[in-house]
Amino acid sequence: MSATLTNAGTTRKAAPPAGARAKRLTTSAVIKIIIGVLLVVEIYPLFWLLSSSLKTKDEIVSSPLWSLPSSLQFSNYVEAFTTGSLGRNALNSLIVTVPSLFLIIVLGAAAGFALEVMLWKGRNAVLFLIVGGMMVPLQMVLLPLFTIYYQTGIANSYLPLIITYVGHGLPLTVFLMATYFRAIPREIFEASTLDGGGAFRAFFSVGLPMVRNGIFTVALLQFFSVWNDLLIALTFNIDSKLSTIQVGLLHFSDEYGAINYGPLFAAISMLVFSTLAIYLAINQQVMRGLTAGSVKG
């Protein structure tokens, strides 16, 4: 690393002496090796996953690991879908994720607006109370919540998951939304009320459109945290017909994974590559949001 930094510093200056050039050549070779190793480490596990998911049972057991499948076997994928209930699990995940995400965004943005743009006594204290929720570990609320859901008789529905995801997602969302609203000059909101618009118009027609990039960032963060969650989904899942995809995959692995590798690989690979596709489609926005968010925070 020491040589690389010097190198970065001198690239802008013209005509380095010969010794420096030799040093630069070795430096750039070292960097290329580092990047090569990095790429192999990142990509190889997924490549192996994909190629294993396309192999027949005999091929998986007998042939060397780095060998490619002799022919593309999609039967593992068919089997993954037909033996377990992964299709049903994926649908459950969608049924839970979409309303959770919608509520987190709408309620979080409204609360962020009420706490940052609206003027009233005690708003800082309430903001502090909500943001403090980020420090409370989920484990601290799981058992009482389970008791509530169990005793109110809603444990056998999608509601426990949705309610918990929303409550747990709100602190970070309110914090970020308040930060985004803070960045907008107050005069804009005051001008909108001068035209005779009420507080709701200031929120819906002025506030929300101006923070839409922020909303997108929050939606992404929350999507991945809800979609990939295991702890909440596992705790409140009583009826296996309601299992989310993460819980379903875990059960699938327990029931079929030890005997039959192919369908398990296919199931993992479907989940991994569909999530990856979503990520790649919106990757630029994720990066921008993450860097912007942490700088402001």
Give the CA count within 13 Å in the CB-facing half-sphere of 296.
16
Tokens 């965004």 sit on residue: 105
Q: How far apart are CA 253 and CA 212, in angstroms?
A: 40
| Site track for other proteins across 222-261, x = CB under 8 A | --x--xx-xx--xx---------xx--xx--x---x---x
CB 221 to other proteins: min, Å: 10
Restricted to residues 169-208, the positions that interact with other proteins (CB under 8 A) are: 170-171, 174, 189-190, 193-194, 197-200, 202-203
152, 269 contact by CB (below 8 A): no
The tokens describing 76, both together, are: 């593992």
Contacts of 247 (CB under 8 A, 6+ apart): 89, 230, 233, 234, 237
- Determine which residue in the list 80, 86, 208, 268 makes contact with other proteins, applying CB under 8 A: 268
Q: How far apart are CA 180 and CA 215, in angstroms?
A: 9
Residue of 113, 55, 65, 1 lying closest to 269 (CA atoms) = 55
Q: How far apart are CA 226 and CA 146, in angstroms?
A: 18
Q: Does 210 bind other proteins (CB under 8 A)?
A: no
Judged by CB, which is closer to other proteins: 15, or 170? 170
CB 7 to other proteins: min, Å: 8
Restricted to residues 44-103, the positions that interact with other proteins (CB under 8 A) are: 44-45, 48-49, 52, 60-61, 64-66
CB 72 to other proteins: min, Å: 20
Total residues at the site for other proteins (CB under 8 A)? 108
Judged by CB, which is closer to other proteins: 48, or 74? 48
Q: How far apart are CA 217 and CA 232, in angstroms?
A: 23
- Determine which residue in the list 17, 19, 137, 209 makes contact with other proteins, applying CB under 8 A: 137
Restricted to residues 23-52, the positions that interact with other proteins (CB under 8 A) are: 31, 34-35, 38-39, 41-45, 48-49, 52
The tokens describing 118, both together, are: 């609206």
